[in-house]
Each structure stands twice: as structure tokens, then as C-alpha cells.
Structure 1
Amino acid sequence: MISTAPGELRVKALRRFALSITILTLLGHLFLGFEQAPVTPVLTLLLGYALDLTLETFQARVERRPAAFLGGFGQLVDYLLPTHIGALACAMLLYGNSSPWPYLFAIATAVASRHILRIRVDGRPRHVLNPSNAGIALTLLLFPWVSIAPPYHFTAGISGALDWLLPLGVLMAGTLLNGKLTGKMPLILGWLAGFVGQALLRAVLFDHDFVAALLPMTGLAFILFTNYMITDPGTTPRARGNQVWFGLCTAAVYGLLVLAHVSYGLFLALVITCTLRAGLLLVDRHRLIRARRTRLGKAAA
């Protein structure tokens, strides 16, 4: 049996993610009823590519290393996959009326967060926030007139059996991708269990309608969030137990945001959970540094 290195699995997963969201974007603007201007994904892609390559070039010069996108056209394409996914996610999930600026702000924030907000983990700098989710969340917070694309946005142009076949197809494709390549099924299960749990607690403790609290799970947007956003390999734990806790924590934060009457809880909950995880990583890194210094001090003595 031939084993596959984690790096190779990550690239394969990114390629599948990129292909899936590209196909959905094309179908959305041609047949499904996406309400953003068709030029929107083109603009976010162009700005995302340009900004990512610029920041990576600058960062490589500062760190005196070759830029990560050097090495041929294939290397360039693989390097830009996260930005490609983020740009199309911002263009698909946000609705800024006829203005292109909210989408451009979102992808600029997403790319900048991936380059700037980093923590060194296992000797390598890793970004701590899900880029597209961070861009979308900050855009929603700063521009009250911008909203998330309405639920009917994904199925406005179809009817009949396609109304449930499309979400089913997206669900199956995402589940297969995460099961085979990302290894994030424990996180997904933790997130889903936590979402049901917070709905049950809200029903018992605060007299919320239990079925209504579960209704977001029936939408295609929730399926996309579950299979393609919360499972970001770069900003979620690898260990299975930690994945479950990450999913449970995101659901718990979402429930608290709902109780506080905060809109767009899914995106904000993921930002908060990623931030909490970053704090734990910093504490753990500080603890390891102190332990290493203590050992070196004892050895020197």
C-alpha cells in the first residue's frame, strides 16, 4: 500500500475544493439564480491573486527565501488555490447589492489575514484565521448594509426534484472529500452534534422552538459552511479529539451569539473559535519555550 504524505493530501484537497467551488459558481450564475453581478467573482479572483503574489513576494524577500509560488506553472497554480477558493467564497456568500467594493474588501482582508495573522507551529508559521470566513465576517461587521446571500439564492433558478438533489449532491461531494482527503470528519460530527445540542439547550432553558433552531441545517448555505469552510485544514486541529472539541466549541459560541441576538452567527462563531485556538497555541508555545529554557539551564549548571 502506497502512503500519501500530508502535504500531498492537502494539495489534493485544495484542488478538489477549488474545482467544486468553481463549478458551483459557474452553475450559480448560469442556472441557479445567483444575484451578484457575474463580474463579481472575476474581480475578487483578480484582486486576490494580485494581492497574494505581492504579499508573498515581499514576505519572501524579508525572510530571504524563494517565493512559494516559484517552480513552474503547476507550482503557481497550487500556491494560488487557497486564494482562488477564498475569492469565490466571498463572491458567492456575500451580497453587497450593485457595489463591488464589499466583495473586494472581503477578499483583501482574507488574503491579508493569511499572511499577517500567523503563529509558528511545529517550526512553521501557520495562519490562525480561516481566511474567507474572516473576510466575510469583518465585511459584515463594518458594513451594515451588506448581508449574506439570501437562502433562495442557491436554488432560485431550479425547481422540482433539483431543489433537493442539488443540496444532496453538494453534501455527498463534500463528505467524500473530507472523509478521504482532509480527515476532518470528527470535526464535522462534533460541529453537527454541537449544533443539535445548542438547539436543544435553547429549547429547554430559554423556551426557543427546537425545530426552528434546527432549520438552518436544512439550507445549502449550512451544508457549504459545514463541508467547505469550518473544515479548513490550515486553521483547524489535526488530532481527532481536538477536532471534535473545535466543532463543539464553534457550535457553543454560535448558540451564545443567537442568545445575544447577534446576526450572522455561523461566521462570527468560527472567527471566535479560531481566535480561541490561536490563544491556546500561543500559551502552549510559551510553555514549551519555558520548558526548553529550563532544561538548557539545568544542563548548563
Structure 2
Amino acid sequence: MTVSANQPTAAAPRHNAKVITALRRFAISISVLNIAGYTFLGFEQPWIWPVFAVLTAYTVEISLEFVSAKVDGRAPRYAGGGFKGMVEFLFPAHITGLAVNMLTYVNDRVWVMLFGVIVAVGAKWVLRAPVKGRMRHYMNPSNFGIAIILLLFPWASIAPPYHFTEYLYGPADWVLPAIIITLGTLLNAKLTNRMWLIMAWLVGFVLQAVIRGIFLGTSIPAALGMMTGVAFVLFTNYMVTDPGTSPSKRSSQIAFGGGVAALYGVLTGFGIAYGIFFATALVCLIRGGYLWGLHFLDKQREAAAKAAAAPPAPVAVVPAPVPVAAAAGDPCQEGTCFHGACASKRAAETKKVGVPG
């Protein structure tokens, strides 16, 4: 069968099987949490808002993928896999839409929440860096959308922490965080492999609380008390560990998790609210700059290696100039000719001058 030259090439898989499994479980978990939240936990946002959020996220994701495929001359990643392929393609958008709505509180201004969803999903096509020969987004989508909302709309806030357990009492207050921790640990230990990042984040969080207590007079128990909230547990297990925007190497994971904790301590020490989201965004931004720096450094090394391996340029040989015989002098002027007239003239000139005695 002949393939037309204008036919778009097949798109490379967006995620490997392990990541797809992790995204599927994460999408199911956050969907169940939202259903429980609006049923009996006490979520504050209107119940229809999650629907608006995911539909907006789906629309932006599909539209930008379509445009990207046209520009790259390839088939869209949601095409060719049937309904299953479309569902797997939309896992990240589904998670982002629900997370932005669940973790922000914008009163009754739904358009602000939808703006955050659009920014979160759209940033994946704008803020990108080369990783192993492919362009990958480096800003955590949900976190970035929330951070932009908090920056541009000072009256907005994160969702009140109590709304995760507002209608739970007694042992149930502990059961829900325990379930989230258990499922999150299994997810990160077996699928995303981000346990080193989690440990670095937790250790760093404890250290920054102690340091702020020693040098800034912050109540250390109060600073550590944040770790007992459901919002903190969700952030630790499902946001900061995003496999698409966090490193895979052990040392890089430790630097990433510790960096988020350190920046959180600095921002909180300066009295900046919602530092946990801003710290994550800053670390992701720093990582993106680092990835671009590595890319340009590799390009310079490749150029230097090619220059060193290239054969030396041939040396041009310039022929020596051909000597030109000097023009002979005029014998008559020099007095060396044998002409009679010239001899008489020379004799007359000699008489005029005279010979000294």
C-alpha cells in the first residue's frame, strides 16, 4: 500500500504504560473524592462547577493537541486509539480540572476558576523544555493554575481546609487521611517512583518549621500542625509528585522536594500566604530553566566536537613571483656607447670642464 507524502505521521505515545496506569488511578481517586466531597464531606463550591471544570479542561486539551498536531505534521494523540485512547489522553485534563476547582475558592465567580483551568492546561503547550530529545512541559499544571489565580485575584483563596472533613466526626477524621496516605503511597511507590521526592519534601518541611521557630519565633507545633491536614496529605501524595513535571533520578528528586520545602519556608518567613503553591511553581520554573541550560550546553558541546573532528582546511599555496628582468639602461646616456656623435659630444664636454692640474 502506498502512503501519501502528505499523510500525517503517527504520534509518539504520550505516556508509557506505567504512567498511564498511575494517571488512571489518580483520575479515579480524585473523581471519587469529589463525589464524596459533594455528597458528605462538605465541599464548598457549587456541585456543578466540577462539571464545568472538566469540560473546559477537555476542550482546551483537545483543541491545543489538534493545533500542535497540525503544526508538527502528525496525527493527534487522541486519534487512532478509539474511545479508550481518547479517555487515556484526557486523564491529565480530567485531573487538572477537578484539582483546580477542588483546591480554590473564588466565591461565586465561576469564570475565575475556569480561567485557572485554561491557564493550567494551556501552559503545557507554552512552558516547555527539551527532555531527552522531546519537548516536555515543566510547570505542574494544577499548581500553576492555582498560583496564577492567587496572584491575579487577591480576593481569591485556596479552598478552606475544613471542607475536606467538615461533616466527619470521631474516628472518621482519621480514616479519610489514612486512606489517602495509603493509596497515595502505593501509587508513588509502585508507579510514579517518587518516594525519594516525598521523603525530601517531608524532611525539608519539618526542618523549615524548626528553623522558622528558632530564628523567627514561629510556633513550631503550629507550623508542623499543617502536616495533619487533608489538604497537605493530598498535596504531598498527588500534586508535588506529578510524574510529568518532577524529576526521576534520586538525587534530582531529593533536590526538587527539598527545594519546595526550603522555598516554602522562605516565602512563609516573609509573610507570603499560600507559599506552598508559589514554592512549587518557583521550583518547577527553576527546573525548566535548568533543562534549557542543559540543552544549550549540549548543543555547544556537539558543535565543539564536530569542529574538532572535522579535517583541517587545505592550506593555499601561493606561487612565488616570477622575477622580471630589469630594463637595460640607455648606453648613450651612460656614456658607454660607441656612436661617433656621442663620442664627439663627450669630448667637447670634457674640454669645457677641464682637467685639474
Give the TM-score normalised by the residue count of structure 2. 0.82
Written as runs of structure 1 = structure 2, the 5 A alignment for 1:15-34 is 15-34=24-43
Q: 2:173 matched to 1:158?
A: no
Find the counterpart in structure 2 of residue 145 from structure 1: 155
Q: 2:60 matched to 1:42?
A: no
Which letter maps to 1:107? Answer: V
Find the counterpart in structure 1 of residue 302 from structure 2: 292
Cα RMSD after superposing both structures: 0.9
Residue 209 of structure 1 deviates from its aligned partner by: 1.3
Residue 249 of structure 1 deviates from its aligned partner by: 0.4
Find the counterpart in structure 2 of residue 116 from structure 1: 126
Work out the percentage of aligned pairs sharing the same amino acid: 46
Which letter maps to 1:207? Answer: G
Written as runs of structure 1 = structure 2, the 5 A alignment for 1:151-230 is 151-230=161-240
* Total equivalences in the alignment: 296
Higher relative contact order (CA 8 A, sep 6+): 1
Residue 67 of structure 1 deviates from its aligned partner by: 0.5
Find the counterpart in structure 2 of residue 282 from structure 1: 292
Question: Which of 40, 52, 68 lines up with 1:59 in the alignment?
Answer: 68
Which letter maps to 1:28? Answer: G
2-structure distance, mates of 1:205, 1:33: 38
Which letter maps to 1:235? Answer: T
1-structure distance, mates of 2:78, 2:310: 43
Residue 29 of structure 1 deviates from its aligned partner by: 0.3
Find the counterpart in structure 1 of residue 326 from structure 2: none
1-structure distance, mates of 2:294, 2:128: 15
**CA offsets per residue over residues 179-213 of structure 1, 9 Å max, x none?**
11000000000000000011111112222211111
2-structure distance, mates of 1:103, 1:39: 12
Written as runs of structure 1 = structure 2, the 5 A alignment for 1:83-102 is 83-102=93-112
Find the counterpart in structure 2 of residue 3 from structure 1: none
Which letter maps to 1:64? Answer: G
Residue 258 of structure 1 deviates from its aligned partner by: 0.4
Which letter maps to 2:49? Answer: T
1-structure distance, mates of 2:27, 2:237: 13
Secondary structure of residue in 2 paired with 1:177: helix
Which letter maps to 1:240? Answer: R
Find the counterpart in structure 1 of residue 349 from structure 2: none
Q: Which structure is larger by alpha-carbon Rg, 1 or 2?
A: 2
Which letter maps to 2:38? Answer: H
2-structure distance, mates of 1:228, 1:27: 17
User: Which protein is richer in helix relative to its size?
Assistant: 1
Which letter maps to 1:164? Answer: W
Which letter maps to 1:290? Answer: Q
Question: Which of 88, 103, 107 lines up with 1:78 in the alignment?
Answer: 88
**CA offsets per residue over residues 125-182 of structure 1, 9 Å max, x none?**
1001000100000001111111111111101122111111111111111111101100
Flag structure 2 segments of 5+ consecutive residues without an equivalent: 1-14, 312-357
1-structure distance, mates of 2:294, 2:67: 29
Residue 78 of structure 1 deviates from its aligned partner by: 0.6
Secondary structure of residue in 2 paired with 1:156: coil
Which letter maps to 1:141? Answer: L
Deviates more, 1:78-87 or 1:202-211: 202-211
2-structure distance, mates of 1:30, 1:252: 37
Give the TM-score normalised by the residue count of structure 1. 0.97
Deviates more, 1:151-160 or 1:29-38: 151-160
Find the counterpart in structure 2 of residue 246 from structure 1: 256
Find the counterpart in structure 2 of residue 234 from structure 1: 244
Secondary structure of residue in 1 paired with 2:244: helix
2-structure distance, mates of 1:94, 1:103: 7
